[in-house]
Every structure is written in structure tokens, then in C-alpha cells.
Structure 1
Amino acid sequence: MKRLWTPAWIARHVAMVALVVGFLGLGWWQVTRAAEGNALSFGYAIEWPVFAAFVVFVWWREVRHALRRPPGTDAPPAPSATADAAPAAGSPGVRRPVRVARVGVAGPEDGELAEYNRYLSWLNANPGARPGDYPG
């Protein structure tokens, strides 16, 4: 429980209480406006307590997450000095996929594809030409 009394956690606790009190106060204000005849305020009177409940949910989830971690591991691990170093033993190795360009892929030539590529080459060689000017 001492982990939840650091300056960062105290700021989180204070922010949570301030937000919940503020959201519930705004919800009550919308209830009084709705009672005065403002029909739109009924929707807001429901919305503000939902916001307050969401703040409590996120705060509770973060508290539980902090208590599950072993003591002294509040900060994420620092990145290693070299990017290509192998992962440490016992840690899962996550690697990025390597993209390899296929050069010279041999295969049957598609007649329509070859004609279309000739057409594109002609358009590239004649930038001012219209597609209807293609001689092929």
C-alpha cells in the first residue's frame, strides 16, 4: 500500500476525487435545470454521473494494476543500448517483420498486364498526351 502514497499517486487520488465531485456537481446542476423545464438537461443529468463512474473505473483499474506489480517496478524498463541485441533469457522476443523486395520474379507473362504496362510507359513518356492519343 505504500506504493499508492507516492507524490504521483497522491496527485492521481486528488485528481480522481476532484473530477468525481465536479462531475457529480454538474450532474446535480443539470437535474435542477431539468426540473425548471429544460428538457435537454435530462440527458446531461444522466451523462455527468456516467463520466464520474468512468473516472472511478479507470482509477480503480490503475490501483489494481499498480498493486499487482512487484515492488520497485514502477517505471518501465529502459531500452537497451543496442537495438539489434538479442532479448534477455526468459523474456519474450518480439521482432519486427522484415520486408524483402521480390526482384526478378519469374512467371508466365500476362498479355493484358504487359499491354497495360506498355500503355503506362507511353503515358509517362508523353506527359501532355491524352489517353485517347495512345497509338496502341
Structure 2
Amino acid sequence: MKRLWTPAWIARHVAMVVLVVGFLGLGWWQVSRAAAGNAISWGYAIEWPVFAGFVVFLWWREVRHTLRGPRVPAAEPSAAAGSRPADAPARPVVRRPVRVARVPAAAVDGEDTDLTAYNQYLKWLTDNPGAKPGDYPG
């Protein structure tokens, strides 16, 4: 329960209470307007409590998610034991960045050096589909 009393969670609790009280108050206000003869207010009188319920739903879902905590991966089966069980989740594939030698951008036949460098960068991205733009050696 200590996880629900951090400053961020206290702000969430306060926001939830303020929103729910505000939405229910607006719903009551719409009921009083509808009773005074404003027919369209009946729709709003229903809408505001629905918004309050949605806020409570999101808050409760986040509380459950936080209390559940991070999932701890199961122990890896040994290679001698065979392949992993059918119910075990597949491990994500993490690829190492591709590193290539830097090719200097030289002007050919009066071309713009910036344009040549940009074209080499695009070619490198095409040649290395698993790499991220931040892996570019240039």
C-alpha cells in the first residue's frame, strides 16, 4: 500500500476526488435546470455522472495495475531440459545496432556536399533496416 502514497499517487487521488465531486455536482445542476423546464438538460444530467463513473473506473484500474506490480520473469529453462514450455512468453528480440565505417561526403561533379551526405545517410538507413537513425555513424 506504500506505493499508493507517493506524491504522484496523492495527486492522482486528489484529482479523482475533485473530478468525481465536480462531475456529480454538474449532474445535479443539470437535473435542477431540467426540472425548471430545460429539456436538453436531461441528457446532460445523465452524461455528467457517466463521466464521474469513467474517472472512477480509470482510477481503480490504475490502482490495481500498481498494486499488481511489475511481472517477474520465470526462471529460464536450461538448454538440457529442452525447449521452453508452451505457456512461457516469447522473449523479445533485441538487435544490436549496426556500426559501419564512416564514408566521407565528397562533392562529385560540383554536387552539394550536404545533399551528398544526406543521400548517403538515406542509403545507410535503407541498407540497415533494423538500425535506428541514432545508430548512424556519420
RMSD of Structure 2 on Structure 1 (CA)? 2.3
- 5+ residue gaps in structure 1? 72-89, 101-136
Q: Is 1:7 aligned to 2:7, yes or no?
A: yes
Q: Is 1:48 aligned to 2:53, yes or no?
A: no
How many correspondences in the alignment?
Answer: 80
Moved over 3 A (4+): none
Distance 2:8 2:59 in 1: 13
Match for residue 93 of structure 1? 93
TM-score, structure 1 as length reference: 0.54
Match for residue 113 of structure 2? none
1:92 deviates by 2.1
Mapping for residues 95-110 of structure 1, pairs under 5 Å: none
Distance 1:40 1:9 in 2: 37
Match for residue 20 of structure 2? 20
Match for residue 121 of structure 1? none
Q: Show CA shifts across 1:95-127 (max 9, x none).
A: 7xx978xxxxxxxxxxxxxxxxxxxxxxxxxxx
Q: Residue 38 of structure 2: SS of its match in structure 1?
A: coil
For the structure 1 residues 9 and 34, does the alpha-carbon distance in structure 2 shift closer, same or farther, using more than 3 Å as the test? same
Q: Show CA shifts across 1:22-68 (max 9, x none).
A: 00000000000000000000000000000000000000000000001
TM-score, structure 2 as length reference: 0.53
Q: Show CA shifts across 1:66-99 (max 9, x none).
A: 001149xxxxxxxxxxxxxxxxxx842267xx97
Residue type of the alignment partner of 1:57: F
Bigger Rg, structure 1 or 2 = 1
Distance 2:32 2:60 in 1: 30
Instruction: Provide the identity percentage.
Output: 80
- 5+ residue gaps in structure 2? 72-89, 96-124, 128-138
Match for residue 30 of structure 1? 30
